Amino acid sequence: MVCCMNERISRRSELGLTQPEAAARAGVSLATWRRWEEDPASVSAKTRAACEKTLSAKSALTKALEKSYAQFETAWSDCHYLTPRQAYSIAAVLDLWADLYIQGWLDEPMQEPLHNVGPFARFDRRIMFYVDGNQAWAEMVRDRCYAVSDEIEAGVLPFHREGAYIDELLIATALAEAEDMLGDAPDLFEGIAPRDGSPEDDEGLSGDDDWDQLSDTFDDMCQWDDWEVPLYKNHPLLPAILAERHPFTWFDMVPASGPGYLQRLAGLVVDQQEESE
């Protein structure tokens, strides 16, 4: 019996992990984890290494928030539609997905279905019929999360340049979680000055709470007309979109769908329905 907290218990506490969570990450039983915490010499060298690796890793949230506050202030302080805190929270969500959820699934792909893992849990399940369990596809999404996050830190959004469809889709998927993060844990963003938008603001700058306005602005800026469609459940045009653009191609640098794409697809669907009648 341990009469006081040792360094292993202290480190697990710092990472915000319970004993069952830490054991799962290390791939050992709860009983084995408890033995290791009390006395590392009581388990095998292989088990010790796995447990030590679990506690040596920074928490995913800590890693996601290591980006430079100053860089986001510089990049976004003069932007009228996106505040530095909003930009930071979107980038943090992308890094969390990459560091914690996608990488965690890649480390143990048999632990749960990919469609239960962020960001894919927000997708229409019909998309995941094409890719569920595909580790290479998940790894490429992880890499795009990192790339888009780094671009946001540098003051660039996918809407600003030609790019792959997945980049704009990741922004669409991140918005709701970024809003929740900023609203529920404002202390995480204390290094960035808050911004309160006001209709009377002569500069026309939006505020940290203006997420609906931000989404509307992105709708106007998007290069892929269907950038949000995969997030709607049972969107009637999703089958036609997937028929034209398989998820394996979402990383390709090809011309964007552009305005009017959804309207054109809707017309094709109607025509096909009329022909089949």
Domain boundaries, the chain: 7-57, 61-276
Find the range with the poorest average confidence among 30-44, 49-63, 74-88, 114-128: 49-63
Residue 82 has pLDDT above 50, yes or no: yes
Residue 275 has pLDDT above 60, yes or no: no
DSSP string, 259-277: TTHHHHHHHHHHHHHHHH-
Find the range with the poorest average confidence among 16-30, 128-142, 247-261: 16-30
Cβ atoms of residues 67 and 153 within 8 Å = yes
Residue 160 has pLDDT above 70, yes or no: yes
DSSP string, 190-243: TTS------TT-TT----TT-HHHHHHHHHHH-SSTTTTGGGSTT-TTHHHHHH
Q: Which H or E run contains 51?
A: helix 45-56
pLDDT of amino acid 258 = 94
The pLDDT confidence band at residue 2, using thresholds 50, 70 and 90, is: very low
The average pLDDT across 24-41 equals: 92
pLDDT of amino acid 3 = 45
Residue 244 and residue 66: Cα distance in Å, rounded?
Answer: 39
More confident site: 86 or 277: 86
Q: Looking at the chain, how many residues does it have? A: 277
> 58-67, 243-252, 264-273: which has the highest mean pLDDT?
243-252
Residue 108 has pLDDT above 90, yes or no: no
Q: Closest Cα to residue 157, out of 144, 171, 146?
A: 171
The pLDDT confidence band at residue 1, using thresholds 50, 70 and 90, is: very low
Question: Domain 7-57 carries which CATH code?
Answer: 1.10.260
The sign one gets for the Cα dihedral 73, 75, 80, 81 is negative
Neighbouring C-alpha atoms within 13 Å toward the C-beta of 88: 32
The average pLDDT across 127-156 equals: 97
Residue 199 has pLDDT above 80, yes or no: no
Residue 205 and residue 160: Cα distance in Å, rounded?
Answer: 19
Residue 270 has pLDDT above 60, yes or no: no
The average pLDDT across 136-147 equals: 97
Q: Closest Cα to residue 145, out of 72, 65, 91, 101?
A: 91
User: Could you report the per-residue pLDDT of 203-261, keeping only the tens digit for each?
Assistant: 678 999 999 999 999 999 999 999 999 999 999 999 999 999 999 999 999 999 999 99
Q: Record the tokens describing residue 62, joined without a space.
A: 């800590």
Residue 153 and residue 75: Cα distance in Å, rounded?
Answer: 7
Cβ atoms of residues 141 and 252 within 8 Å = no
Mean of the per-residue pLDDT values of the chain: 89
